[in-house]
Chains A and B, each alone.
Chain A
């Protein structure tokens, strides 16, 4: 049981380049999400999914796209990277019981992205 796996761990892009951050979980979680972590700003939700084929925007979605074709995978795409997207990105997943106890978020180990 690997949990939440994110790749790559580090990435440097030039302004305007595109890339995909990969996220996979093996816990059969319905809910998957992407956060960015910036100094002094905590964890901010970019996009999330409550099941295969369903995605929605979080607090800071601009410049990012997502898709959820399987329960296991939830890739995050940067269409045209900008310096403002320099950040640490975390993928997280959980069960979705809407009020139940077993909803803790499981986070991946993060991707450090620098856009020059």
Chain B
């Protein structure tokens, strides 16, 4: 089955700086890669996703890049703000399967230092 590794497990950045979280996956057939953000005391929420027919996707201050050859994808947050402090999960699966095949990474706790 799919295996997703996520690094780093914790990350602290100064407010206004950029943050990058990286994930690698094992199944070369995977082609759907979502990112979820979990704020304290809440359930995860989808913040951005990418399918393998594109290499990069942006939504305001967040972007995801995908390197299919190397089987890794990354989340980039620019101009970080205190509200970006949360746990972030990457995930991977084949897009023509359901969410029962979604494999999550182990999470990155991001702390923004004011």
Residues of A within 8 A of B (CB): 4, 31, 33, 40-45, 48, 50, 56, 58, 90, 92, 94, 96, 98-99, 103-105, 107-110
Interface of B is mostly: loop
Indicate if B26 sits at the interface (CB-CB under 8 A).
Answer: no
Residues of B within 8 A of A (CB): 4, 6, 9, 34, 36, 41-46, 49, 89, 95-100, 102, 104-107
3 A-B pairs with the lowest CB-CB distances in the bound complex, closest first = A107-B43, A99-B96, A42-B106
B98:A98 contact, CB within 8 angstroms? yes
Given A40-B106, A42-B106, A104-B34: A4 in contact with B43 (beta carbons within 8 A): yes
Q: State the CA gap A108–B42 with chains docked (Å).
A: 8
Given A104-B49, A105-B102, A108-B43: A43 in contact with B89 (beta carbons within 8 A): yes
B96:A40 contact, CB within 8 angstroms? no
A109:B98 contact, CB within 8 angstroms? no
Residues of chain A lying within 8 A (CB to CB) of residue B42: 109-110
A98:B100 contact, CB within 8 angstroms? no
Residues of chain A lying within 8 A (CB to CB) of residue B4: 42
A-B CB contact pairs (8 Å), 10 listed: A42-B89, A43-B89, A48-B99, A90-B43, A92-B99, A96-B98, A99-B95, A105-B46, A105-B99, A109-B43
Residue of B nearest to A43 (CB): B104
A94's contact among B44, B45, B99, by CB below 8 Å, is which? B99
Q: State the CA gap A3–B95 with chains docked (Å).
A: 24
Q: State the CA gap A4–B43 with chains docked (Å).
A: 10
